[in-house]
Amino acid sequence: MQGGQDDATVSGGSSPNGSDSNRNGFVGTVATIGVIGVGAALIEASLIPGIVIGVAAAFVPKYLPLIGSTVQPMFKSAVRGAYKLSRKTRNAVADAQKQVRDIVSEVHADAGAGSKTETTGHPPA
């Protein structure tokens, strides 16, 4: 001890109750979840709502007693938002797939019509 300060404050500048190590652990957890989220987005975007729900489900029981009843409406809206986003994403992907299939079938039809014209000399009826 120097001049009335305890050893934890002198050596590392952190508080003696260890709140800095708790904060660093939380930041590390958030960073890990962020990296996993980015990786999932690169692999398959439709996995993101499930990851959001899973992360929320993991953190809510741990921090709910600290935060209280204000978290419940936010959690419900986050789940609703993730669900709506997944439905919109699913619909957009289905529409894009349909358009691609239509284009591919048109190309196949044009290719088939072009080959008949080349062999017979007359366009198909």
Sign of the alpha-carbon torsion through 40, 44, 49, 51: negative
The model scores a pTM over 0.75: no
| CA-based torsion, 30, 31, 37, 41: positive or negative | positive
Closest alpha carbon to 32 in 10, 63, 58: 58
C-alpha distances in angstroms, 108 versus 55, 104, 113, 116, 118? 46, 6, 9, 12, 15
- Tens-level pLDDT at each residue, the chain (125 residues): 444 444 444 444 444 555 566 667 778 877 887 787 787 777 777 777 887 788 777 777 777 676 667 767 888 888 899 999 999 999 999 999 999 999 999 999 888 776 655 555 555 55
